[in-house]
Amino acid sequence: MPSFAKHSYPLIFLSSIHKRRFYKRHTLQFPKIPAELLCVVRGGEGMVRIHNDMVTLSPNQIFFLKPSTEMEVMLESDYVDYYLLTLRSVTVTRQRGEWSCQPSLDSVSVLPSGKLLLPTAKIWLERVEQLHATSRLSSDGAHEVQRQFQMFFQDLQQELAGQGEAAGNGIDQSIGYMYKHYSEKIKLDTLAEIAGLTETSYSRSFKKAKGVTPVQYLNQIRIESSKALLKRELPIQDVAASVGFGNEFYFSRMFKRTIGLSPTIYMKRKQLRVGVASCYRYQENLRTLGTEALYEMNGYTIKQLTAEEHRSFVQVQLDALREAKPDMILSDYRHLPFYDRLKDIAPTICLDFTMDWRQNHWRIAELIGREQEARYNFDQMELKVNYTREVLAHAIGKETLSILRFYYGKIRMYGMIDHPLNHLLYKELGLKPGSCVPQHERSKEFTLAQVPPFETDHLLIYKQYVSPQEEAAFSALLASDAWSTMKAVRNDQIRFTPNWIGMSWSPTGLNEIMDYLLDAYGSE
């Protein structure tokens, strides 16, 4: 072969990787995809239409999207979290002993378009999370990011090699039919036929896959579709007919059962006077959304009170709430024992319990017609988290931080998961935990005599309901030999905080927590 022969090699590089979140709208459309993308879903549920195929959207899935891809997303959850990897094709050429590299005009044809069929998809999500973490560490540089990506991409190709086109999922196809024809009368036998199953098998398989019956699922689609029409204050009868409910009274009953408000009240939700019965700072969420709670009730049991004192304490609050005359009451699951008395005062909506403060914030925003404000709050929170993370990474670096709560003579060490405070500190802000911080638990509790020795560079303490005797016992613990060897004690890095555990349930509190961290460590 002549020495001047030309050799070309196609290569795929990672152009960028970002963590993204889309909030719920009935239909999300992406009219133009700018480049070849890998979309790795972290959380959220719904349906995706890619060209003419409907597929489910759920955690641990990977989608490969080309610029020509026609895509439409219909969310069932409040939002979807995902990683977005932008890929670039380049061609490396060797001619006359010289190497050159230039962008390729061809797309990344080594992956099938659409949802990738990966039986071990969770493993790929973990690798993408690691890749994203590496991309945020400037010390590792772009070379390490590309090295990890090349290994990831090659393994992904091998996993997909030899996999044929999967048969369309019949249940997904039937759901796609629901979304397209929800305004019409849809029979169960029609859906079963689309899925290629008998009615009995279809109903059983659908319930197993989605957790609800086909009729319930269809009604959810119709209820979600009706919200946009109600916002335009169309007549209830017209809305019911437009979304496939033949009877407006049945529609109203189903809407209230699903949303918690009647359609009539839902149309006036921006003008509603709202009361709160919650331990999770719903009033702070309302304030961040631009409105104030008429009255803030917290009926959670306080240990210092006797049963009779607590009953009196609750009754005083219920009387005050009634006197405030709210149009609606927002409550949490801890107030279910008072639900009957609350609903006698005003329509009461008990929000589903979740450790994700964003879900609560979005649900509250929906109920009072402040979705735009919620989106703004989420955007501002992301900016604040990114800024605080960068400042703390420079100020604290790899030093460790732990947070504990001292109350009723016990120590509770907070962990790395399952609480908005834990998520903020260790996931979003990237702080490193001390040796005693539980990695796979929300918290771990000890008596003062059982607290094991542990190591941490920074220790944050919240003291609650501390009697003089408990204060003395706690001070003795801090002065003990076991604690005096801790870096945080030796370097005078123990700080006492307000109730961050409670504050972390709202944007206001989370911002105050980050401001505290910036003031405490940003100037060090």
Question: What is the 3-state secondary structure of 43-103?
Answer: ECCEEEEECCEEEEECCCCEEEECCCCCEEEEECCCEEEEEEEEEEEEEEEEECCEEEEEE
What tokens does 81 get?
A: 């979290």
Any idea how long the chain is?
524
Q: Do residues 47 and 142 both lie within one domain? A: yes
**pLDDT tier, 166 (very low <50, low <70, confident <90, very high otherwise):** very low
Q: What are the CA-CA distances from residue 370 to residues 77, 225, 274, 373, 504 (Å)?
A: 18, 18, 13, 5, 21
Looking from the CA of 320 toward its CB, the CA atoms found within 13 Å total: 16
**pLDDT tier, 507 (very low <50, low <70, confident <90, very high otherwise):** very high
**Domain harbouring 226, CATH code:** 1.10.10.60
Q: Do residues 403 and 506 both lie within one domain? A: yes
Q: Do residues 474 and 388 both lie within one domain? A: yes
Task: Give the end of a domain, one of 246, 267, 288.
Answer: 267
Q: Which has more confidence, 82 or 11?
A: 82
Per-residue model confidence as pLDDT tens digits over 377-393: 888 988 999 999 989 98
Task: Give the end of a domain, one of 369, 392, 421.
Answer: 369
Residue 73 has pLDDT above 90, yes or no: no
Instruction: Write the secondary structure of 492-517 as one string of H (helix), E (strand) and C (coil).
Output: CCEEECCCHHHHCCCHHHHHHHHHHH
Q: Is the pTM of this model over 0.85?
A: no
Mean pLDDT for all residues in the chain = 81
Q: Do residues 321 and 420 both lie within one domain? A: no
Residue 26 has pLDDT above 80, yes or no: no
Q: Do residues 500 and 420 both lie within one domain? A: yes
Within-domain flag for 1:
no
Q: Do residues 457 and 355 both lie within one domain? A: no
Residue 3 has pLDDT above 50, yes or no: no
Residue 254 has pLDDT above 70, yes or no: yes
Residue owning tokens 């010289």: 98
Residue owning tokens 């149309």: 267
**pLDDT tier, 1 (very low <50, low <70, confident <90, very high otherwise):** very low
Per-residue model confidence as pLDDT tens digits over 199-232: 888 888 888 777 788 888 888 888 888 888 888 8
Per-residue model confidence (pLDDT) at position 70: 75
Q: Do residues 143 and 89 both lie within one domain? A: yes
**Domain harbouring 123, CATH code:** 2.60.120.280
Q: Do residues 280 and 135 both lie within one domain? A: no
- In whole angstroms, what separates CA 182 from the centre of its chain? 28
Q: Do residues 140 and 239 both lie within one domain? A: no
Domain enclosing residue 257, as ranges: 170-267
Q: Please tell me the least confidently modeled range out of 174-188, 416-430, 439-453.
A: 439-453
Q: Which has more confidence, 233 or 507?
A: 507
Q: Do residues 186 and 249 both lie within one domain? A: yes
Per-residue model confidence (pLDDT) at position 165: 37
Q: Do residues 402 and 456 both lie within one domain? A: yes
Q: Do residues 112 and 150 both lie within one domain? A: yes
CA distance 433 to 439: 8
Within-domain flag for 2:
no
Q: Please tell me the least confidently modeled range out of 288-292, 331-335, 447-451.
A: 447-451
Task: Give the end of a domain, one of 142, 160, 178.
Answer: 160
Task: Count structural domains, the chain.
Answer: 4
Cβ neighbors of 486 (< 8 A, separation 6 or more) are 453, 454, 455, 456, 459
**Domain harbouring 308, CATH code:** 3.40.50.1980
